[in-house]
A and B are shown apart, each in its own frame.
Chain A
Amino acid sequence: MAFEGLAERLQATMSKIKGKGKVSEADVKEMAREVRLALLEADVNFKVVKQFVNRIKERAVGQEVMKSLTPGQQVIKVVNEELTELMGKEESKLAVADKAPTIIMMVGLQGSGKTTTAAKLANHLRKEKNRNPMLVAADVYRPAAIDQLQTLGKQLDMPVFSKGTEANPVDIVREGVEQAKAENHDYVLLDTAGRLHVDEALMDELQQMSDKVRPHEVLLVVDAMTGQDAVNVAEQFNEQLPVSGVVLTKLDGDTRGGAALSIRAVTDQPIKFAGMGEKIDQLETFHPERMASRILGMGDMLSLIEKA
């Protein structure tokens, strides 16, 4: 397979330097190359990889090798610790407004999973938190985007506010929030149209929507399969909007998901949820340490090292 995990990658290097007492600079250099390749193959942005590998080098050189570990395992341990640190803490909590309703706005590129995630979150809020959410259909551009949200609303038996495709999205979200207030909903989820981070007109529209309703939570929805461009996307959305968290979708696939690391590195916002399927109940809390070992492609190895 094209995607070797870091553990396999390091196997060869490790056997060469077995039995040494310290991790030498040369060992680290050789292993750093493997770490670099593994991260790049996992789609971590190359700039992020560079910084990361430098930090690993600094930390690993000259370390005493623990009795229970080989130098290779030792490096993996360091890599994993640094990676988990970078991935941030577990945080699936959604903001709660002092005065209801709490407004959550979904933003992101086309096809990333905003509409599906809006429905999943509404379902989560009702089922797990006993809340009474409402959905707002503010995508007036994509054909049948409103139908999609309405169908999901029907499945959930939850109200969907819409004003058709002729209305202005800024007006839609304003009126949607007003209606939610009037009907005593405690959460409002705003589904917005997908857009490119470089589309000035549409990014501006999103900013106006955000300025108008002042959402308590702006969730950037990102496809876990995203490649090197994830940093540009995250950077732009984060710069132009008060992004407060990230949802990583399609993690039920077999991607390594290195985009998670890139996004964390550039936005410093927590990844709050993971989309694990197309169905409405397939939303999970995001686990940073699991993501770290997924990116590295070495589940079992880590649990072994963890104990050391």
Chain B
Amino acid sequence: EKTRDSFAEKMNDLAARYRTVDEDFFEELEELLISADVGVHTVMELTEELRDEVKRQNVKTPGDVLPVISEKLTAKLDYSGEDYALNMNGEGMTVVLFVGVNGVGKTTTIGKIAQRFKSEGKNVVLAAGDTFRAGAIEQLAAWGEDVGVNVVKQAEGSDPAAVMYDAIQSARSKNADVLLCDTAGRLQNKVNLMKELEKVKRVISREIPSAPHEVLLVLDATTGQNAMTQAKTFKEATEVSGIVLTKLDGTAKGGIVLAIRNELDIPVKFVGLGEGVDDLQPFDAEQFTYGLFRELAEDDESAE
């Protein structure tokens, strides 16, 4: 793929359009990052550091500022050598809990991940922990049927913690390798609903002390600055261990995960690229960073 070395190229293109490293240059760089929903705070921090660096090193031309930008960006987004694989339980069933606000793609992502595990020959069970939203149980059941895995469910309106308890027993008796737990979407400022989620997690840990082995926060790439607050609050409530960034097949860039990475140090593990069962990929930092600057590349092409 040609996306590999493109980031440097993009920065070159940006630099080439300016003779001097002036305020306009910085403003455009800021806008570029902001338009990708990178946190305003992170962007300002970055460009402030750049301004200082440029002064200190007495850099005059955009060409000379390039190495500085790459250096700074890499420092902020350093993903190198990291393992994005899900944390698996070495001695028994792996339990993965999915959390997030309404409509981000939790249930769909469970379907996709179930398919991945199944294709690796693993025995997968799904837990229908969203007992609140209309049709949520049927939705997960439909995914279970599609992928060909068992779904543990109770009636709509039942206690989600009880569903989890049930699901763990049932998955154990089926000798499951992986249990994927769906939960109802909830906005992070709903204190009671966040407490309910804590309880769900507690029940899981009580049954299997090492579980959940992974708590995945699902974030919608279309979401702006609020995703940061989501990450903070869900992390406090459930010790989020990774992020799934969905809906990257649209035009939104999901740049807020940079700020989340920067401030909360939660890694992105998967990205969602569509509604189909195969539209899930492991996170690729370089490709993601390239995506942030995609428009810039297109602008330049159309200008020529």
Contacts and interface: CB of A to CB of B under 8 A. Distances in A.
A255 B187 CA distance: 10
User: What range describes how many residues of B lie at the interface?
Assistant: 35 or more
Interface string A195-206: 011100000000
Contacts of B133: 148, 278
B3 to A, nearest CB: 19
Contact of B134 (A141, A152, A223): A152
Interface of A, secondary structure class, is loop
A35 interface: no
Contacts of B64: none
A111 B275 contact: no
Given A46-B35, A228-B34, A278-B102, A144 B139 contact: yes
B189 to A, nearest CB: 4
Interface in B9-45: 31, 34-37, 39-41, 44
| B34, B40, B275: residue with the most chain A Cβ atoms closer than 10 Å | B40
A229 B103 contact: no
A41 B225 contact: yes
B169 interface: no
Contacts of B35: 45-46, 228
Given A40-B34, A147-B138, A152-B134, A111 B225 contact: no
A245 B252 CA distance: 22
Contacts of A147: 134-135, 138-139
Interface of B, secondary structure class, is loop
A142 B275 contact: yes
Contacts of B189: 252-254
B250 A225 contact: no
B251 interface: yes
Nearest to A236: B251
A151 B134 CA distance: 6
A155 B132 CA distance: 13
A112 interface: yes
A264 interface: no
Interface string B113-147: 00000000000000000001111101101110010
B223 interface: yes
Interface residues of A, number: 48
A253 B188 contact: yes
Contacts of B34: 40, 46, 228
Contact of A111 (B31, B37, B102): B102
Contact of B187 (A145, A150, A253): A253
B41 A253 contact: no
Contact of A143 (B36, B146, B247, B256): B146
A229 B111 CA distance: 27
B104 interface: yes
B134 A252 contact: no
B39 A111 contact: no
A109 interface: yes
Given A144-B142, A278-B102, A42 B225 contact: yes
A80 B227 CA distance: 26
Nearest to A251: B187
A255 to B, nearest CB: 4
Contact of B223 (A142, A226, A254, A278): A226
| A149, A226, A259: residue with the most chain B Cβ atoms closer than 10 Å | A226
Contact of A141 (B187, B188, B275): B275
B146 A2 contact: no
Nearest to B142: A143
A109 B222 contact: yes
B197 interface: no
Contacts of B222: 109, 223, 226-227, 229, 233
Contact of B101 (A116, A143, A253): A253
A142 B40 CA distance: 34
Contacts of B146: 143
B226 interface: yes
A225 B220 CA distance: 10
A37 to B, nearest CB: 6
Contact of B224 (A149, A197, A198, A258): A258
B249 interface: yes
Q: Which 6 A-B pairs have CB atoms at the shortest separation, nearest pair first? A: A227-B224, A148-B135, A111-B103, A43-B224, A143-B142, A151-B134
Interface of B: 31, 34-37, 39-41, 44, 101-105, 111, 132-136, 138-139, 141-143, 146, 156, 187-190, 220, 222-229, 247, 249-253, 256, 275
21 contacts: A2-B229, A37-B44, A42-B225, A43-B226, A112-B103, A113-B103, A147-B134, A148-B135, A148-B139, A149-B135, A229-B252, A233-B222, A250-B187, A252-B187, A253-B226, A254-B189, A254-B226, A255-B224, A258-B224, A259-B224, A278-B132
Interface of A: 2-3, 37, 40-43, 45-46, 109-113, 116, 119, 141-145, 147-152, 155, 196-198, 223, 225-229, 232-233, 250, 252-256, 258-259, 278
Given A148-B135, A278-B102, 19 more contacts: A40-B40, A41-B41, A43-B224, A143-B139, A143-B146, A144-B138, A148-B134, A148-B139, A151-B156, A223-B103, A223-B220, A225-B227, A227-B227, A229-B250, A229-B252, A229-B253, A232-B251, A233-B251, A254-B229
